[in-house]
């Protein structure tokens, strides 16, 4: 293989925002065809697409029950099960802490009282990719918060799942798993299919066909986000160890050829030269080098003249993951606002977030961190407001006046119908 030549070096003013269209037009065309086929032909179409893509064999079950998942959990090694259980426990502890921070509320209003309740969706579908690498971690990251939120039924979709993925679904508390991926899995969970009831909410990362299908069914069901290829920005100064930064960039780059590894640094050219050498050395024996090199070709490094400029550039990119390795961590943390997840200090590796330190690893990409956060227990919850009035007189005149200002006479009369008659 050719030696690594180094990250592209860009000027700060040459770096655009991280904004992009999350839905690929060709993937949308394919997803539309599959979704319409599922609408028309139901389970027969689901099986046909799953068999065509090698997700199941002819006549093989596509729907696995909780009992099936339990059998898989018994087949894995004790050591693997213990790792899955410890990871589940950390994710659960964080989700429970989030849940405890969400309080029901009640306040007095003129003539009565009002408030809100926080309630879960009834049925959630959790997608876990199963293409280049199986991702039991994504099963834990999606199912566990759903269960903590109080979702009654949780189903997982994952193509070609191995025992580790099935075991993760069991340990996380899933009720069932469908051995189907892509747009057909999203359609099955959105529409309902055979023994699978329609879901109210679909969550989890996936490929471009999954993203396109989620885009199409959004509105019929809720979705968490339209996630694209993974992203990492490392904000570093001269105190950061180039070998550590290189390790983190490669961990991101091996995800996908379309992954985006970026460095924003206040250090000089010599530091970037050391970083390039560290990446080149680490690539030599990396099993995933072909994928990582393609992602590195998309990545880049930017030199900034100050921490303030560097933080502004990071916010412009609004990356999925943002690692901060600078001498003045509090100053950097105070300036940064747009990211999916923040990792502060040289020991807070992004991979700890991937594998269940506590916070979720399903995060916004493509600049969408400007307006949304990552998946959490809150994703599975709805805030319901309520109002109870026993003396609405204080509201009647204003309500009727506003209704007539808008030309809605029946609204005004409905308010006035609540007026007590004299002596009533």
Q: Which residues are identified as catalytic? A: 320-321
DSSP 289-310: HHHHHHHHHH-EEEE-SSHHHH
> From CA 104, how far away is CA 154, in angstroms rounded?
24
In 247-320, at which residue ranges do the beta strands (DSSP E only) sit? 260-265, 300-303
> From CA 130, how far away is CA 138, in angstroms rounded?
10
Task: Give me 223's structure tokens.
Answer: 């979705």
Distance of CA 64 to the CA centre of its chain: 24
> From CA 21, how far away is CA 97, in angstroms rounded?
34
> From CA 161, how far away is CA 134, in angstroms rounded?
7
> From CA 95, how far away is CA 291, in angstroms rounded?
33
Q: Are 227 and 215 a contacting pair, CB within 8 Å?
A: no
What single-letter DSSP state applies at residue 13?
G
- Strand order through the sheet with 176-178: 63-65, 176-178, 153-157, 123-127, 201-203, 222-223
Helices 25-41/208-217 angle, 10° precision: 60
Task: Give me 283's structure tokens.
Answer: 């690539």
Reference 252, options 171, 175, 304, 321; nearest CA is 321
Which backbone phi and psi does 206 adopt, to 5 degrees? -170, 180
Q: Which long-range contacts (CB under 8 A, 24 or more apart) does 341-349 make?
A: 341/374, 346/240, 346/241, 346/244, 348/323, 349/248, 349/251, 349/323
Q: Are 216 and 394 a contacting pair, CB within 8 Å?
A: no
């Amino acid at each position: 293989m050719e030696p690594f030549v180094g990250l592209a070096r860009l000027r700060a003013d040459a770096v655009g925002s991280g904004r992009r269209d999350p839905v690929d037009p060709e993937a949308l065309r394919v997803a539309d065809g599959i979704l319409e086929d599922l609408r028309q032909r139901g389970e027969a179409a689901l099986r046909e697409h799953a068999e065509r893509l090698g997700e199941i064999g002819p006549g093989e079950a596509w729907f696995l029950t909780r009992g099936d998942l339990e059998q898989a959990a018994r087949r894995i090694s004790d050591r693997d099960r213990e790792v899955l259980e410890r990871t589940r426990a950390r994710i659960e502890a964080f989700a429970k802490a989030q849940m405890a921070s969400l309080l029901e509320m009640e306040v007095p209003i003129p003539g009565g009282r009002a408030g809100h309740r926080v309630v879960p969706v009834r049925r959630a579908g959790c997608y876990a990719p199963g293409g280049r690498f199986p991702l039991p971690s994504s099963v834990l990251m999606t199912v566990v918060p759903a269960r903590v939120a109080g979702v009654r039924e949780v189903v997982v979709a994952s193509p070609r799942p191995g025992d580790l993925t099935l075991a993760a679904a069991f340990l996380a508390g899933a009720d069932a798993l469908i051995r189907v991926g892509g747009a057909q899995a999203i359609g099955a969970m959105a529409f309902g299919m055979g023994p699978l009831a329609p879901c109210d909410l679909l969550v989890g990362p996936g490929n471009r066909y999954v993203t396109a299908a989620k885009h199409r069914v959004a509105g019929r069901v809720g979705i968490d986000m339209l996630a694209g290829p993974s992203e990492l920005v490392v904000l570093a100064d001269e105190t950061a160890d180039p070998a550590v930064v290189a390790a983190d960039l490669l961990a991101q780059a091996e995800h996908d050829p379309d992954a985006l590894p970026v460095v924003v640094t206040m250090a000089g050219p010599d530091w970037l030269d050391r970083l390039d050498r560290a990446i080149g050395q680490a690539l030599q024996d990396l099993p995933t080098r072909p994928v990582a090199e393609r992602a590195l070709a998309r990545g880049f490094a930017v030199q900034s003249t100050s921490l303030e400029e560097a933080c502004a550039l990071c916010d412009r990119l609004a990356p999925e993951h943002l690692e901060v390795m600078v001498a003045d961590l509090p100053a950097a943390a105070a300036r940064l606002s747009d990211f999916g997840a923040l990792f502060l200090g040289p020991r807070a590796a992004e991979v700890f977030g991937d594998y269940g330190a506590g916070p979720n690893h399903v995060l916004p990409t493509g600049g969408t961190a400007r307006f949304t956060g990552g998946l959490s227990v809150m994703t599975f919850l709805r805030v319901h407001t309520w109002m109870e009035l026993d003396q609405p007189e204080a509201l009647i005149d204003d309500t009727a006046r506003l209704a007539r200002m808008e030309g809605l006479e029946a609204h005004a009369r409905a308010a006035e119908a609540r007026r007590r008659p004299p002596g009533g």
